[in-house]
Amino acid sequence: MTSATASKIAAGTWNIDPVHSTVAFRVKHFGLTWLRGGFTQFDLSAQVAEDGTVQLEGTSPVDSISFPNEQLKGHLMSPDFFDAELHPTLGFSSTSVELADDGTAKVIADLTLRGVTKSVELTGAWAPATEGLAGDTRFGLELSGAIDRNEFGISWAAQLANGADVLAPTVKIEGEFELVQA
C-alpha cells in the first residue's frame, strides 16, 4: 500500500534526470572518518496515481559502484561484500510514500542487497513540481537513512588491535533525485 499527500504532483510516470540525481553511501572506517562511495548508474521512477498515491521503484547495477580506490572497489564486488557475480543488481520498491504539505518526506521501502530484501525507512524532503528550462515538469526528492549491512549478508569484518571495527556495521544511504514527468 502506498500513500501520499502529493496533490502538487500530477498523476502519471516520473523518471529520474540522471544528470541531476545522486545515490551515495558512507560507512565509518576505523571509527574515525567516513568512507564514501556512490553509484554511477541507477534508475528510479515514480508512479503517481489519480488519488495522489506514489509508488517508487529503482534499481542499480552493483558494478556501477563508484569508489575512490579500485582495489577496494574490487573487494566490494567480491563475495565478502556484494558478491556482484551472483547478485548483479540492487533493488528498491516503496511500500509507503508520504509527501507532506510541509515538504517533508517519509518512505518505507523494500531494499534488496546481495539477494536479501529488508524493509528500510528513509526520510527527507520533497519539492513540488516546477517547469524546467526546456518546458518539462519535474519535482525533487531527497531521502536518507541507515541500514545494518549485516542484515543483508554483507558481514565482512576485521578489528583493529584496540578492538575497534575496521568498518562499522551501520551504513548511511542517501539519494537526491530530480524526477521528470514522462
From first CA to last CA, the distance across the chain in angstroms is 23
Is residue 6 pLDDT above 60, yes or no? no
Is residue 3 pLDDT above 50, yes or no? no
The proportion of the chain whose per-residue pLDDT surpasses 70, expressed as a percent, equals: 96
Average pLDDT over residues 11-16: 97
The residues pairing with 177 across neighbouring beta strands, listed in sequence order, are: 141
- Whose cell is 572506517? That residue is 29
Cβ within 8 Å of residue 117, ≥6 positions away? 91, 110, 111
pLDDT for 7 equals 56
* Average pLDDT of the chain to the nearest whole number: 94
- pTM metric for this prediction: 0.92
Average pLDDT over residues 145-152: 98
69 confidence band (pLDDT: 50, 70, 90): confident
Average pLDDT over residues 157-166: 93
Amino acid at 70: E
Closest by CA to 126, choosing from 51, 177, 57, is: 177
68 confidence band (pLDDT: 50, 70, 90): confident
Residue 40: φ, ψ to 5°: -90, -20
Q: Which CATH number fits domain 12-60+90-181: 3.40.50.620, 3.40.50.20, 2.40.128.110, 3.40.50.300?
A: 2.40.128.110
pLDDT digits (tens, 9 = 90+) for 107-131: 999 999 999 999 999 999 999 999 9
